[in-house]
Amino acid sequence: MADIIKLLPDHVANQIAAGEVVQRPASVVKELMENAIDAGASTIKLIIKDGGKTLIQVIDDGVGMSATDARLSFERHATSKIQKAEDLFNLHTKGFRGEALASIAAIAHVEMQTRTEADEVATHIKIEGGKVVSQEVTVAPKGTSMMVKNLFFNIPARRNFLKSNHVELRHIIDEFQRVALSHATIGFHLYNNGSELFNLPVSNIRQRIVNVFGGKTNEKLVPVTEETQVVQINGFISKPQFAKKSRGEQFFFVNNRFIKSPYLHHAILGAFEGLIKKENHPGYFLYLNVDPGSIDINIHPTKTEIKFDDEHTVYAILRSTVKHSLGQFNVMPSLDFEQDQNLETPYGYKDKSVEPPKVIVDAGFNPFKEDVGAVKKSSFQKQNNKDWESLYVGMESNIGKNSDFSSVSFESDTITGSIFENKKESVDTGSTTFQLRRKYIVTTIKSGMVVIDQSRAHQRVLYEKFLRNITVKEAVSQQLLFPLSLTFSKTDCAIIEEIQDSLTTVGFVFGGIGDEEVTVTGLPLSVPESEVGIILDQLISDYQQDYVVEGFSQTDILSKTLAKSLAVKTGELLDSDSQLALVNDLFACKESEVSPFNKPIYVTITEDDIDKKFI
C-alpha cells in the first residue's frame, strides 16, 4: 500500500492554525492590543474601517523592535515571553505562544512599522498571505504601528462567514472595553471610519469605568475590597436597584486579564440573592490578583477561560466579599438585635458637638386676651355665608310652581335584556372561556377543548401586529407631553441609532440620540411610558446576544422584543371579554400554533381523551 500521509505546506498549516486564533476582526484587535501592552506602551490608538474587514490598525509608543526581531516576530512560535515549559506557569504578560502575528499574516495583508529608542531609523515590513513582500528602512516615531488589511482575503468562505459591519464593530468595541478596563494606567483611543468613539485618558479604575460606560455609572457603583492569602479582590459592583435584564456590564479580570467564568458568576448571584429579581442580572467590575503559578491560562485558544488550583476557596471568598460590601454600604438590609436604632446618630450629625436644647418662653402671652385674628375670621365666615345664601333667593317660589315635576326628564340606561331569561340560549359553546390559575385560557371546541398559554398567545398576536406595522409603515404614535430622557452607554446609544428607522416605523419618535442620552418624544399606542427604558434595555440585550446569527432580521428582533415585553404575563387576571378577544385574535393570526420563539401556544384535548380517563 502506498504512503498516504504527507506533511502540509507551511502556508496551509498557518491558515489552519489561524482559525484557532483569528475568528473575526475582534480577535485581531485583542491580539494586537495585548502585544502593545506587553511592549510597555503608555498610549494605544485603535483605528477601524468597515467593522475591521478593510482595516485594523494599532499604534503604540512602546519599546519597539529591532529589524531582526521585527522579521522574526512573524514566524510561528516565535516569542520573547517564555523560554522553557516552566515559564507557562509564571506568566506576567498577555501574549506568550508566538502564534498571533504568524496567524494574522497568513490570512491578511499586514504592514508593520517599528523603531526602538536606540535606533535612528525604523523598519517597514509588508507581508501578504504569509509571504514577506518587502522589508525596508523608513522614518517613524518610537514604538510600533501594525496595519491589518483585507482580513480573510485568501479564504473567501471565512470572509463570507463574517457578519455585518455593525455587528463586527460591536465585537471590536467589546474587546476594546475589556482591554481598556483592565489597564487604567494606559490611555486608549478608538476611531471608527474617521470618527472618534472613545478617548480614555490615564485614570484610576473607577474613572475608567465611568469614562467607558457614561457619567451616570458613578452613582451605581459600590466598592469591593478584600485581601487574603489565596486571592486579592478589588473593584466595584452595581447597586441592586440598577440590575438589568441583560448581561451587559459584567467583567471578571484575573491578573489584569479578562476571563469568563460561569462558576464565579454564580458566586455573585448568590451574594445578590433576595435583593434582585430572578430574571435580572447584577453588574460588576471585579479584579482578582492571584499567584500566577496557581492558575492555568492556556486551556483555551482565546485565553478567556482559566483554571484555578483551588476554585472552591475563590468562590467562597468572592461570595462573602460581595455580600459584605452590600451590607457595609447599607445596600443590603441587615438585622442587629443588640443595637437600638433609636440611639443611632444620623450621618449628618456625626462630627457635630452636642448642644443642650433651648426653650423659648413668651413672657407676654395672655390666654384670656381676645384674639383679634379670630374675631376677623368669624366675621369673614359670616359674610361668606350671606353671599352663598343670596344665590338661592327665589328658589322657593320656582319649586312651588313646578311641584308636579312634569317637565323634569331623566336619563335612562339602554336595556340589553334580562340576565336570567333565556340563559341557555345566551351560552355559545364555541365562545365559552375561563382562566385557569391565571396562566391558561380554556375554551371549548366541537371535538373537545383547547388550553391556551395566555402569555405566548399574546406574544404571537403582538408579534404579527408589529411585523405588519413595520412592513406597511402605518404605525400610530402618541406624543408625550414632556419628552423622556434616558441614559445609556456609548455602545448602547450606537445600537439604538442603528435601529432607529425600524423603531420609528413601529411608532417611536426620537427627539435626539447623543453619546450617552436618548430623548423620546413619542411612543406606540400600546407602550406605556414607564416601560420604555425596560423595552430599550431588552432590545439592546437581544442585539448584543447576536440574534442575527440565528437568521433573524432587524425587523424580526424588534418585533419579538416588543411582543415579549408588552405581552400579558403569567399571573395577570383577565376578564371574560379579554379572554374571548385574545382567543379570537390568536386564531386570526397566520401562525397560531407556536409563539415567536417557537414554543407551543396551545394543546387540544379531545372528547375521546377525556372519555379514556373514565374507563
The per-residue DSSP string of 565-603 comes to: HHSPPTT----HHHHHHHHHHHHTSS--SB-TTS-B-EE
DSSP 8-class letter at 104: H
* Low pLDDT (below 50) residues in the chain: 413-430, 547-551
CA-based end-to-end distance of the chain: 70
Between the alpha carbon of residue 565 and those of residues 527, 531, 539, 568, the distances in Å are: 9, 8, 9, 9
Q: Please name the residue that has the C-alpha cell 535612528.
A: 120
DSSP 8-class letter at 444: E
Please, are residues 511 and 519 in contact by the beta-carbon 8 Å criterion? Answer: yes
- Which residue type occupies 611? D
Q: What is the pLDDT of residue 377?
A: 53
* 473: region left, alpha or beta (phi > 0 left; psi from -120 to 50 alpha): left
Q: Please name the residue that has the C-alpha cell 473567501.
A: 156
Closest CA to 248 of 208, 213, 211, 199: 213
Closest CA to 323 of 267, 277, 281: 267
Longest dimension (CA), the chain: 129
Element (H, E) at 461: helix 454-472
C-alpha cell at 45: 490608538
User: From CA 212, how far away is CA 222, in angstroms rounded?
Assistant: 17
Element (H, E) at 120: none
Q: Please name the residue that has the C-alpha cell 448642644.
A: 355
Q: Which residues are bridge partners to 47 per DSSP?
A: 57, 191
Task: Compute the CA torsion angle 526, 530, 532, 538 (nearest 10 deg).
Answer: -100
User: From CA 545, how far away is CA 560, in angstroms rounded?
Assistant: 14
Domains of the chain: 10-200 (3.30.565.10), 205-328 (3.30.230.10), 433-604 (3.30.1370.100)
Q: What is the pLDDT of residue 339?
A: 54
Please, are residues 513 and 493 in contact by the beta-carbon 8 Å criterion? Answer: yes
* Phi, psi dihedrals of residue 352, rounded to the nearest 5°: -90, 150
58 CB-near residues (< 8 Å, 6+ apart): 29, 32, 33, 35, 36, 44, 45, 46, 47, 145, 146
> Number of helices (H) and strands (E), helices first, in the chain?
19, 22
User: From CA 577, how far away is CA 434, in angstroms rounded?
Assistant: 10
C-alpha cell at 307: 483554571
Closest CA to 323 of 289, 254, 275: 275
Q: What is the pLDDT of residue 395?
A: 57
Q: Is 114 helix (H, G, I), strand (E, B) or coil?
A: strand
By CB atoms closer than 10 A (0-12, 13-18, 19+), residue 378 is exposed
DSSP 8-class letter at 87: G
Q: What is the pLDDT of residue 96?
A: 53
By CB atoms closer than 10 A (0-12, 13-18, 19+), residue 401 is exposed
- What does pTM read for this prediction? 0.71
User: From CA 15, how far away is CA 129, in angstroms rounded?
Assistant: 9
Please, are residues 248 and 541 in contact by the beta-carbon 8 Å criterion? Answer: yes
Q: Determine the Cα angle at 47 with ends 44 and 50, to 5°.
A: 155
Please, are residues 44 and 186 in contact by the beta-carbon 8 Å criterion? Answer: yes
Please, are residues 233 and 287 in contact by the beta-carbon 8 Å criterion? Answer: yes
